[in-house]
Amino acid sequence: MNEDRPVENLRKDADGGRVLSIDALRGFDMFWIIGGGAIFESLAEIWKHPMTETIRVQLDHVPWEGFHFEDLIFPTFLFVVGAVLPFSISRRAERGESVHRIHLHILRRAVVLILLGLILNGLLRFNWPEMRWPGVLQRIGLCYFFAALIVLHTKWRTQAILVGVVLLLYWAVTMLVPVPGCAAGDISMQRCLSSYVDQQLIPGQLYYKYGDNEGILSTFPAICTALLGALAGQWLRSNRSGARKAAGLALAGVACVIVGSLWGMVFPIIKILWTSSYVLFAGGWSLLLLASFYGVIDVLGFRAWAYPFIVIGMNAITIYFLQNLVDFERIGAFFLHGAARHVGVYAALLLALGAFVARWLFLWFLYRRRIFFKV
């Protein structure tokens, strides 16, 4: 937990100004996880319209192959984890911390993230054969660990080459290595290589029966998602003008979306497998989001609108973990249940808003008192 540093001194770009867009983008991403999605889904139930139906569909994951907005949320968070690394690592180096101490810091953060994820999955119930071992926080911890070490010890060109090599190797291994009893190149849920490896090596329960969303093989391309964010963060730390930084991010985003789409014709975009085409397609949209946020907030200076997202973004892991322990829906309903009984079809929307506001006010309380929980 960090209580002693004012928000204005946390992360800065090469010109010494705060890169608020990074926190705002993280908060925007978390908005959908902590209640934003439920609000829009409730709205779609009330207002039957092609536009709201499209929104509702986009707020559901695709079952296997394809891409919806919901499939962008997790990779964008990993992207932002990577985008912060050049700032945080360089800040520690500038304070005179030794490489050994930075290694220990990286290891500690990764271990804590993985442990928190295991606790959410039921580690303390001690029913380990029935427990799911992989998870969202576990993947964040692993991707943070390897991406941080790579950023610490390599230059951006090496990082870019690593991303390309890993994505090509993942494509080759997935499409050329056959599962026993199946032909090579089968990427169905039941017979793909990733599912087979998960069945052989992961104990306990698997998320989708045949394999796991945060399985073993798909962790490697997921690290590439964090490294794409790290490359974007290094671009933001450069001495270029703000407008050129925003334009560069946007151009890179368009290029990644195009390449990811084309690659998806031969190596389909599948979030569960975190396919190479998915890394580039989702990474491209993450770059475009960062370019938009950076251009509006840090270049043009329009910041007031982003305040609600910044409040969320400053304690993103905190609220992700706590909302699994604290019943914010019940807290919201405690204050709004009476009103909900009198608004008819709008009751679900009102209660969804109440649950979100309960979460946001908790985060606002922490933000106003400069309390930022750091794992």
Which H, E and C letters describe 188-237, residue by residue?
CCCCCHHHHHHHHHCCECCCCCCCCCCCCCCHHHHHHHHHHHHHHHHHHC
Query: Scanning the structure block, which residue is given the tokens 């010109």?
Result: 15
Is the CB of residue 226 less than 8 Å from the CB of residue 214?
Answer: no
Confidence bin at 54 (pLDDT 50/70/90): very high
112-116 long-range contacts, CB within 8 A, separation 24+: 112/141, 112/375, 113/137, 113/138, 113/140, 113/141, 113/144, 113/317, 113/375, 114/138, 114/141, 114/142, 116/317, 116/321, 116/375
Percent of the chain, pLDDT > 90?
Answer: 87
Which two three-digit tokens encode residue 87? 């700032």
Which two three-digit tokens encode residue 151? 């950023």
Which two three-digit tokens encode residue 31? 């908005």
Q: Give the separation between CA 316 and CA 157, rounded to whole angstroms.
A: 30
Residue 12 pLDDT more than 70?
no
Residue 1 pLDDT more than 50?
no
Average pLDDT over residues 33-53: 92
165-171 long-range contacts, CB within 8 A, separation 24+: 166/220, 166/221, 166/223, 166/224, 167/221, 167/224, 167/276, 167/279, 167/280, 168/276, 170/217, 170/220, 170/221, 170/275, 170/276, 171/263, 171/267, 171/275, 171/276
Q: What does pTM read for this prediction? A: 0.93
Residue 55 pLDDT more than 60?
yes
Nearest to residue 232, comparing CAs of 255, 218, 253? 253
pLDDT, tens digit, for every residue of 238-295? 999 999 999 999 999 999 999 999 999 999 999 999 999 999 999 999 999 999 999 9
pLDDT at 375: 65
Residue 11 pLDDT more than 70?
no
Residue 9 pLDDT more than 90?
no
pLDDT at 17: 46
pLDDT, tens digit, for every residue of 94-128? 899 999 999 999 999 999 999 999 999 999 999 99
Is the CB of residue 177 less than 8 Å from the CB of residue 156?
Answer: no
Is the CB of residue 231 less than 8 Å from the CB of residue 159?
Answer: yes
pLDDT at 344: 86
How far, in Å, are 21, 27, 302 from residue 299 at the CA level? 10, 19, 8
Is the CB of residue 65 less than 8 Å from the CB of residue 329?
Answer: no
pLDDT at 49: 87
Which two three-digit tokens encode residue 63? 């079952």
The mean pLDDT of the chain is 93
Average pLDDT over residues 121-144: 96
pLDDT, tens digit, for every residue of 279-303? 999 999 999 999 999 999 999 999 9
pLDDT, tens digit, for every residue of 207-233? 998 999 999 999 999 999 999 999 999
How far, in Å, are 80, 298, 307, 325 from residue 32 at the CA level? 15, 23, 16, 18
Confidence bin at 15 (pLDDT 50/70/90): very low
